[in-house]
Chains A and B, each alone.
Chain A
Amino acid sequence: MHEAIFAHELRKTYPREVRALDGLSMAAEPGTIFALAGPNGAGKSTTVKILTTLSRPDSGEAQVAGIDVLRHPDRVRRSIGVVGQKTGATPEATGRENLVMQGEIYGLTGRPLRQRVGELLACFQLQEAADRSTKTYSGGMRRRLDVALGLVNRPQVLFLDEPTTGLDPDARTELWHEIERLAGEEEMTILLTTHYLDEADRLADQLAIVDHGRIVAQGTPEALKSELRGDALQVELAEPPSEGRVQAALDSLSGLSEIAIDQNVVRARAEHGASAIPAALNALEREGLSAASVVLARPSLDDVYLRHAGRVYHENGREAA
Chain B
Amino acid sequence: MKPLRHTWQVTLRYLRALFRQPAWIGITLIQPMIWLLLFGALFKSVARIPGFHGGSYIEFLTPGLIVMLAISSAGWSGMAFIEDMNIGVMDRFLVSPIWRGALNAGSVAQQVIIIGVQSLIVVGLSLAVGGHFPNGAGGVAILIGVSALLGASFASLSNALALVVRQRESLIGAVTSVTLPLTFLSGAFIQQSLAPGWIQSVARFNPVNWAVQAGRSAAAQHTDWNLVATRTGLLAGLLLVSAWLATRSFRAYQRSI
Contacts and interface: CB of A to CB of B under 8 A. Distances in A.
A97 B12 CA distance: 10
Given A77-B96, A93-B17, A104 B6 contact: yes
Contacts of B98: 105
Contacts of B201: none
Interface string A1-33: 000000000000001000000000000000000
Interface stretch (B83-91, B172-180, B225-233): B83-91
B196 interface: no
B97 A74 contact: yes
A54 B97 contact: no
A80 B96 CA distance: 8
B87 A91 contact: yes
B46 to A, nearest CB: 42
Nearest to B96: A105
A90 B13 contact: yes
B2 interface: yes
A133 B12 CA distance: 15
B257 A88 contact: no
Contacts of A56: 254-255
Contact of B87 (A15, A82, A87): A87
Contacts of A84: 88, 91-92
A78 B96 CA distance: 7
B9 interface: yes
A85 interface: yes
Contact of B20 (A49, A92, A105): A92
B95 interface: yes
Interface in A33-61: 49, 52-56
Nearest to A149: B92
B99 to A, nearest CB: 9
Bin the interface of chain B by size.
20 to 34
Contacts, number: 73
B20 A133 contact: yes
Contact of A104 (B9, B86, B92): B9
B96 A93 contact: no
A164 B173 CA distance: 37
Given A49-B257, A86-B91, A92 B16 contact: yes
A92 B87 contact: no
A102 interface: yes
Given A87-B87, A149-B92, A54 B257 contact: yes
Given A54-B254, A105-B6, A88 B16 contact: no
Interface string A86-113: 1111111100010001101111000000
A86 B88 contact: yes
B248 interface: no
B20 A88 contact: no
Given A93-B13, A101-B13, A104-B6, A88 B97 contact: no
A15 B252 CA distance: 13
A145 to B, nearest CB: 12
Contact of A88 (B9, B17, B87): B87
Contact of B92 (A49, A82, A106): A82
Contact of B97 (A55, A78, A101): A78
B169 to A, nearest CB: 20
Nearest to B98: A105
Interface string A138-159: 0000000000010000000000
A277 B242 CA distance: 72
B129 interface: no
Given A86-B91, A87-B88, A88-B87, A102 B96 contact: yes
A93 B95 contact: no
Contacts of B9: 101, 104-105
Given A54-B257, A104-B5, A88 B96 contact: no
Contacts of A133: 20
A155 B9 CA distance: 21
Contacts of A88: 87-89, 91-92
Contacts of B87: 86-88, 91
A68 to B, nearest CB: 16
Contacts of A89: 89
A86 B87 CA distance: 6
Contacts of A104: 5-6, 9
B13 A54 contact: no
Given A82-B91, A84-B88, A105-B6, 10 more contacts: A54-B254, A55-B255, A56-B254, A78-B97, A85-B88, A93-B17, A97-B16, A101-B9, A101-B12, A149-B92
Interface of B: 2, 5-6, 9, 12-13, 16-17, 20-21, 86-89, 91-98, 254-257
18 contacts: A82-B92, A82-B95, A85-B88, A86-B87, A86-B88, A87-B87, A88-B88, A90-B89, A92-B16, A92-B21, A93-B16, A101-B12, A105-B6, A105-B9, A105-B93, A105-B96, A106-B96, A106-B97
Give 5 nearest A-B pairs by CB, closest first.
A86-B88, A88-B92, A92-B17, A88-B88, A52-B95
